[in-house]
Amino acid sequence: MVRDLRASKTPKVVIVLILALTFSLATSIAESGLIDERLQVIDSQYQDNVFGGANQPTLRITFVPGNDLVDNGNYAVIVDVDGDGNVNDEPNSSYVETGAAIPNASKLVTWNINEKLTSLKEGSYQIFVVIDNLPNGTIDWGEEVKVFDVKDESGNIGIALSSGTVHDDLRNKFDSLSDNLTISGGDPTWKIVDKDKNRTYIIRKSGDKLDVYQKIERDEDAERFTLDKTLEITEVDVDPDTFSPNGDGVNDTVTIYYTLSESLSGPGEEVVITIGEDLLVSPARPTPDRREGRNSVVWNGKDGVGNYVEDDTYTIKIVAKDGGGSEVTATIPVKVRADVPEVISTIPGADSYVSALTEVSAQLKDNSGEGIDLEKSKIWSEYPSGDKMDGSQRDDGENAIRWIFSSPLPGDGSADGEQVGWAVEPDRG
């Protein structure tokens, strides 16, 4: 008997690793009126809440300081790296930007992840905008800050405060003080409320010196984001690495395997598999899986319009994109050999009778023009039970293979009626 069997192949592997980043939005919070409009966090490409990849490395952070600020203050854009919900304990390395907060003036801060906080680990964080009302170039986290002191050796400044007025020696020390004031208290502590500037000052007497403190008001708003620095395609395999899509039901398909580091089913995310774009007018594009982890897709050896492709080596290209703007590519070759060798004759022939048998042989025909790999072509003999008979394979170096029995079947009549089968598996590449 003659059988044409399918042989398994050892797949080759191509692995590609590229970085990426991903962010997502959450509900904002606010404390008072120094911020007029809620914080907005938008990426640089898709106009959504995901950013950080090579194609969109920047995050745009917008906010508007409110009317309650009156005069200029300070702002700081800070990432809550330790995740405790507070940013007053964050080091300077957590600050994206600081600057002057101008009432009613919309502010845009652009954060490039490749330039600031580049060592931030993957995870979920909040990004805060904090505004205070003291324009001294930094955010003040206490309840009050000393802004200056003034000598009052004669006591006239304190006397004036107790009478509800501001002595010129004190007024000249302020950078800006309106005439719409409310003054309260008495020696040794006074309070000045500047209604036009929306500022409150506390003045404390210390010997012949008056220490002037400004009460600090702060406001903050926050959005949550998730940082994902990697998008990877790994463990790219094909099985088999050579197949013969000719509709004979044997070795007609190839399975493509790949592993994704994350699921890619969100907006702007995709996985595209293209086969033979350098050889085919209409490349094949099998429908891919996009889930995190191990994925597989079967190619039937047909091009984009449903025709079987010709014998050649085709490049399988897998392109993955995530919502953060990262794009990675992995490639692996697969060989199509539809015109496989065929068995044109065997000795002895199928269902034949012989008086003695020392070997069986098969003549093969090359249909591809590439020659026949006789080492990959197999022939063997077996009993009716399916057990393989002892022996060894030989070939003629061209197109014939033989199975030599270790114990030939004699022609003395002792083996009369014994049935012997054999199978041939030509090289399929």
> What's the token pair of residue 426?
């030509």
Give yes or no for a contact between 321 and 270, defined as CB atoms under 8 angstroms apart.
Answer: yes
For residue 352, the SS3 value is coil
Structural domains for the chain: 21-140+218-227 (2.60.40), 144-214 (no CATH), 231-336 (2.60.40.2550), 342-425 (2.60.40.1220)
> What's the token pair of residue 366?
């090359």
Long-range contacts: 186-193, Cβ < 8 Å, 24+? Answer: 186/161, 186/162, 187/158, 187/162, 188/158, 190/158, 190/161, 190/162, 192/161, 192/166
- Whole-angstrom Cα distance, residue 140 to residue 2? 89
**What DSSP line would sit under 139-190, residue for residue?**
---SSEEEEEEEE-TTSHHHHHHHTT---HHHHTTSS---S-EEEEEETTEE
State how far the alpha carbon of 290 is from the alpha carbons of 249, 258, 304, in Å: 29, 10, 21
For residue 422, the SS3 value is strand
**What DSSP line would sit under 228-283, residue for residue?**
--EEEEEEEEEESSEE--SSSSSS--EEEEEEESS---STT-EEEEEE-TTT-SS-
Per-residue confidence (pLDDT) for residue 267, from 0 to 100? 79
Per-residue confidence (pLDDT) for residue 377, from 0 to 100? 83
State how far the alpha carbon of 329 is from the alpha carbons of 257, 279, 283, 296, in Å: 14, 19, 17, 16
- Whole-angstrom Cα distance, residue 424 to residue 3? 6
pTM reported for the whole predicted model: 0.64
Per-residue confidence (pLDDT) for residue 399, from 0 to 100? 87
H or E element that contains 129:
strand 123-132
H or E element that contains 41:
strand 35-43
CA dihedral 347, 353, 355, 360 (to 10 degrees): 20
Give yes or no for a contact between 23 and 43, defined as CB atoms under 8 angstroms apart.
Answer: yes
CA atoms within 13 A on the CB side of 361: 11
State how far the alpha carbon of 161 is from the alpha carbons of 173, 186, 219, in Å: 15, 7, 30
Residue ranges of the chain whose pLDDT lies below 70: 1-32, 43-47, 49, 411-418, 428-429
Per-residue confidence (pLDDT) for residue 126, from 0 to 100? 92
- Whole-angstrom Cα distance, residue 98 to residue 118? 18
CA atoms within 13 A on the CB side of 146: 7
pLDDT in tens, 261-282: 999 988 788 999 999 999 999 9
> What's the token pair of residue 412?
């003395």
